[in-house]
Amino acid sequence: MLASALLPLLRRMDAERAHDLALRALSLGLAGRDATPDDPRLAVDALGLHFGNPIGLAAGFDKNAVALAPLSRLGFGFVEAGTVTPRPQPGNPRPRLFRLEEDRAVINRMGFNNAGIDAYLPRLAAYRRGRGVPVGANVGINKEGADPERDYPALIAAVAPHADYIVINVSSPNTPGLRDLQGETRLRAILLAVAAAVPQRPPLLVKVAPDLSEQGLAAIVETCVAAGVEGLIVSNTTIARPPGLRSPQARQPGGLSGAPLFDASTAALAHVARQAAGRLVLVGVGGVASGRAALAKIRAGASLVQLYTGFAYGGPALIPRLKRELLAALDEQGFARLSDAIGADIPGLVPSS
């Protein structure tokens, strides 16, 4: 694929400029497509939707929904656009996106830079009319002048006719005060406001941070179940810096993603899965760049997985490779189909108390 061939050139550029150029190339259809049909063993039925495979693109890559159709043709099982806010905002000062190449990681402090809901909505609607793979809409609040109990319901009402599922982002570390909304009282108030304002909506998920305590994760699970939320995405980026990072950029402030996040995010996923006990659909995110890593998330309780940093490093060629590796890992580990592996490791990862 042309886009994969250009990766070495893009890596010589500033990280954000390279991302913008890659997104532009995708929007122009220069990335090609993966025309190989998905193996039926990878199919997942969750959230009332059918996914041909469990590999999705996480929010943050296509914030403004400008390349959904080209992205969907790369072999993803689903794509997620956003995070979108009520009003346009420029985000934090540059530089704000940093490659940690030695660690196969990225640090970002973008700050929900996006063109706002009015620009986002017609693109999301146009994609949905084209009947591509399932699409999620990830919504957030502005840095200034925000009222979460007002803004989240308004955003969800706007995207509801055009999205297959919706994600409430309360876990980015780059908007001051946002992670406070994960607290039980604030999150319950937001979810009650959404339920009152948008009683008919697609499946709703909440995206959480990996830095929460076990008690904090348990409280989120129970709050979401009580409010009728259908799923959780585990997890967003981390403000922690695991030992052993080698890149000189490792001290940059912001959210860390990629390979160093894998262990912490998978442990958080397993804790959530144990607490949820089948009451929520879980999406595993953090450090997935191989089929074996994807299967580890699924064994820890995820029905679906998402990529961001792995895709940024591996390019479009990564997606068909991941699916091949995932099938091989299923065979190697004795699973006839992917659905048989969901949650297989939970008892060992999170022992009963």
Spot the catalytic one: 27, 171, 172, 290: 172
Nearest to 138 by CA among 178, 80, 91, 89: 80
3-state secondary structure of 239: coil
DSSP secondary structure of 143-193: SSS--HHHHHHHHHHHHTTT-SEEEEE---TTSTTGGGGGSHHHHHHHHHH
User: Strand 49-51 vs strand 44-46: parallel, antiparallel, or unpaired?
Assistant: antiparallel
Respond yes or no: is residue 265 known to be catalytic. no
Q: Which two tokens stand for residue 339?
A: 């659905």
DSSP state, residue 17: H
Sign, Cα dihedral of 133, 121, 257, 8: positive
Q: Which residues pair with 50 in a beta bridge?
A: 45
CA 216, CA 194: separation in Å to the nearest integer?
22
90 exposed, middle or buried (CB, 10 Å; 0-12, 13-18, 19+)? exposed
- CA angle 114/307/204 to nearest 5° reads 65
CA 327, CA 257: separation in Å to the nearest integer?
25
Active site residues: 172
